[in-house]
Amino acid sequence: MEINLINLIERYGDDKKCRKYLEALRWQDGMICPRCSGTTISRIYDRDQFDCDDCRYQFSVTAGSIFDGTHLPLWKWFLAVYLILESKKAISANQLKRSLAISYKTAWYLCHRIRRAVLEASKSKLKGIVEIDETYVGGKKRYVGSGSLEGKTMVLGAVERGGEIRLRVERRKKATKKVLHAFINSTTEPTTERLMTDENPAYLGIADADTTHETVNHRAEEWVRGDVHTNSVEGVWSLFKRGIVGSYHQVSAKHLQAYIDEFEWRFNGRDNPELFRDTMIRLLNTPKMEFKELIEKSA
Ligand SMILES: [Zn+2]
């Protein structure tokens, strides 16, 4: 079911409704005890909790998940997930703070926990026709001459035509052959039919027996030659940069990968009518994180 603000409030406008929904998602094959995997469970009605008949462990539907121990009402979590998924150009912690009437710290924590949850552990590799490009974000433009990359962070991107994207922050400063080839090898299947890039010589040598490498020469003002172009990946960059510039006036390099993961999740789910549900399942399956751990992991 596609979620909009109206049915979100109708369906998940209070904690009771949210809990019911999470129970249905978490225990699709029947309720099990998170401690002993027992299946004889009683409900404790006045506490939103359950009691395992085998080991007497008492738990709630959010036990062990990223929601565990939250002081924020669940319906605010639901709204936050909705707002994050709905904001094509990303939403800042400050905006979330205002929209949900919560403190900045809570909003920041919420954003980071949700981002952490959508970080996909094992990503499938792209195939078919894949466009590759690199771009640079951030840096204090005012203090450096044009063309300088000082203070900027490199982001590498791969886009499967008609499919998903993979974006990655690259800590090294230069898009060398080693950096680019490693990125391509880690994001695309060895059997990818065609790779499309610009004329950057560091891409050379990426072709092999079952993969062709085709380039457009941007320096010579060549943007499209037949179906050879990098327009898909450039479209992703423009959306990504509008989000970064519009929502986060300054994204520190250390948080950039988390923003990128969120952007990727939203972009890859753009045609998924069940994106909200799938995101909720991820939140349930992601262990909770302490504030300290979150800050360290973001570093
Ligand atoms: Zn048990």
Contact 283, 65 (CB under 8 A): yes
Q: What is the pLDDT of residue 76?
A: 95
Express each pLDDT in 7-60 by its tens digit: 999 999 999 999 999 999 999 999 999 999 999 999 998 888 999 999 999 999
Q: Residue 115's pLDDT is what?
A: 81
* Percent helix, strand and coil across the chain, each to the nearest 5: 45, 15, 40
Over residues 123-142, the mean pLDDT reads: 84
Mean pLDDT of 140-146: 47
- 132 is written with which tokens? 């590759």
pLDDT score, position 142: 47
pLDDT in tens, 224-233: 889 999 999 9
Average pLDDT over the chain, rounded to an integer: 87
Rounded to the nearest angstrom, the distance between the alpha carbon of 40 and the centre of ligand 1 is: 8
- What is the 141 CA–ligand 1 centroid distance (Å)? 58
**How far is ligand 1, taken at its centre, from the CA of residue 58, in Å?**
8
Say yes or no to pLDDT of 287 above 80. Answer: yes
Query: What separation in Å is there between the alpha carbon of 53 and the centre of ligand 1?
Result: 7
Could you tell me the two tokens for 126? 């792209």
Dump strand ranges (E) for the chain: 41-44, 49-52, 58-59, 129-137, 153-160, 165-170, 194-198, 212-216, 224-225, 228-229
Phi, psi of 269 (to 5 degrees): -95, 10
Would you state the pLDDT for residue 49?
93
Using CA of residue 259, residue 260, residue 262, residue 267, what is the dihedral sign? positive
* Residue 206 confidence (pLDDT): 94
User: Phi and psi (nearest 5°) for 213?
Assistant: -125, 120
- d(CA 252, CA 283) in angstroms, rounded, equals 25
**62-113: per-residue pLDDT in tens?**
998 988 888 899 999 999 999 988 887 678 888 999 999 999 999 988 888 8
Distance CA 70, CA 284 (A): 13
Cα 32 to ligand 1 centre (Å): 8
Q: Can you give the pLDDT at residue 143?
A: 43
| Rounded mean pLDDT, 152-170 | 92
pLDDT tier at 193 (50, 70, 90 boundaries)? very high
DSSP 163: S
Is the pLDDT at 289 greater than 90? The verdict is no
